[in-house]
Amino acid sequence: MARAFLVVMDSVGIGGAPDASSFFNGDLPDLGANTLVHIAQACAAGKAEEGRSGVLSLPNLERLGLGAAMRLASPIPFPGFDMPPQGRWGCAAEVSRGKDTPSGHWELAGLPVPWDWCFFPDTTPSFPADLSSYVAQAAGVDGILGDCHAPGTAIIERLGAEHMQTGKPIVYTSADSVMQIAAHEESFGLERLLDLCQKIAPRLHQMKVGRVIARPFVGSVQDGFTRTTNRRDFAIPLPSSVLTNWVQDAGGPVYAIGKIGDIFSMQGIDTLQKGDDATLMQHLAERVANATDGSLTFANFVEFDSIYGHRRDVSGYARALEWFDAEIGKIITKLREGDLLLLTADHGNDPSWPGTDHTREQVPVLIAGLGAGTVGKVAFADVAASIADHLGIVPEGPGRSFL
């Protein structure tokens, strides 16, 4: 019997999205953004030396075909990564009109987003007045702070003190279809923040805003403010069934690891394990050891994106990639006959690019357990169809199996 492991390296794009010029960071189109290639170039030029050194070294991903996939996706030259691939490799392009996490994951799970997302304009105020009043009222205060596009770490530094004085939540957005609410875990209250986000989410979902994200933080004016790991995403419910449902309906368990539970609103998911990426890697290793036949393990490693991509930290992103490569290398050696491990990503987040938003890119498709060769240029939804095919399940939706 077969088992499948679908692992999303959040934001590890490889450039070359055919529609990159219609997605933006501020006023600059994403055309030419390339998360992995630009990191590889920076490393080779000695410009990513914090906590690591020299050329980007990802031997396990390279062995699966990462370099070949990068060259297939985009013509931008970069040094190294020329090991002959021993895995199945290719690249995938997204059709959904969003370059965010839910769009990417839903489509990887077989469902291109069937509507246009609501994005808030990069103006101040950014939110319609009636929506801001609704949020303030739901929070039991007489206004909101922020009401603009902002990087989350910068806005708590700027407005944290005022938030603590007034009790008004910090409400902000980005190039993604999101409303984010930052509030102090102690002075505002963590439970109160989570309740607020949960309460207002249906109204935002009705407007086709993809997510309301609770962004709790701690600290003080004297010591500075830091976000905690108690972030919660309240995502719009999926309009139809996806890979997780297909697997469950066929009798297989679905084990989610990391943000997958939030992204799919627990739809079609039996178990969820959370934690930082190091903890998630342990959970993935445990699933490789104990997942049952017919199961899908679906993991998301978010720190590439949340800690390094949005913060435009090239060295940090390179370090995270090298750590991930070493860890996934150990996991690959534990795979059994009949296992398929597919590594991919949901969008880009080029840390060398202006702005702080995601970048529209193609993503790598790297498969262990199916021998060597290329799958070529595929669609995101083909990932779901291929995993279904591997598990002997008939896929729904537009994807085609590349197995």
Ligand X SMILES: O=P(O)(O)O[C@H]1O[C@H](CO)[C@@H](O)[C@H]1O
Known binding-site residues for Mn(2+) equal: 10, 305, 310, 346-347, 358
Under the phi-then-psi rule, with left for phi > 0, alpha for psi from -120 to 50, and beta for the rest, what region is 143?
left
Q: How many residues does the chain have?
A: 403
CB 371 within 8 A of CB 332: no
- Residue 178 found at the interface with ligand X (CB under 6 A): yes
- Which does residue 176 touch among ligand X, Mn ion, none (CB within 5 to 8 A, set by kind)? ligand X
Please list every residue from 277 through 296 that binds ligand X, using CB under 6 A. none
Of residues 181 through 220, those in contact with ligand X by CB under 6 A are 213
User: Is the Cβ–Cβ distance between 2 and 296 less than 8 Å?
Assistant: no
CB atoms under 10 Å from CB of 282, counted, come to 13
What is the pairing mode between strands 339-344 and 24-25?
unpaired
3-state SS assignment for residue 293: coil
Q: How many CB atoms lie within 10 A of CB 250?
A: 14
- Is the CB of 78 or the CB of 301 nearer to Mn ion? 301
Check binding of 346 to ligand X (CB under 6 A).
no
Minimal distance in Å, beta carbon 137 to Mn ion? 29
Q: Which stretch binds ligand X (CB under 6 A): 113-121, 172-180, 291-299, 312-320?
A: 172-180
Least distance to ligand X, CB of residue 197, Å: 13
Q: In this chain, which residue has its C-beta nearest to Mn ion?
A: 101
What's the closest the beta carbon of residue 357 comes to ligand X, in angstroms? 6
Output the CA torsion sign for 32, 38, 41, 46. Answer: positive
Residue 180, binding choice from Mn ion, ligand X, none, Cβ under 5 to 8 Å by partner class: ligand X
Q: What b/e sequence results for 42-71 when a residue is b if at least 16 CB atoms lie within 10 Å of its CB, and e otherwise?
A: bbeeeebeeebeeebbbebbbbbbbbbbbb
Tell me: does residue 374 bind ligand X (CB under 6 A). Answer: no
Query: By C-beta, is 26 or 79 nearer to Mn ion?
Result: 26
Residue 346 contact among Mn ion, ligand X, none, beta carbon within 5 to 8 Å by kind:
Mn ion
- Is 156 a residue that touches ligand X (CB under 6 A)? no
CB of 187 to ligand X, least distance (A): 19
- Nearer CB in complex with ligand X: 311/377: 311
Question: In terms of Cα–Cα distance, which of 263, 240, 238, 257 is closest to 295?
Answer: 257
Residues in contact with ligand X, counted by CB under 6 A, come to a total of 11
Any contact of residue 180 with ligand X (CB under 6 A)?
yes
Which contiguous run of DSSP H or E holds residue 273?
Answer: strand 271-273
Q: 351 near 314, Cβ under 8 Å?
A: yes
Q: Which residues bind Mn ion (CB under 5 A)?
A: 10, 101, 305, 346
Per-residue binding letters, 104-143, with ligand X (x by CB under 6 A): ----------------------------------------
254: phi then psi, degrees, rounded to nearest 5: -120, 115
Interface with ligand X (CB under 6 A): 101, 151-152, 174, 176, 178, 180, 213, 306, 310, 356
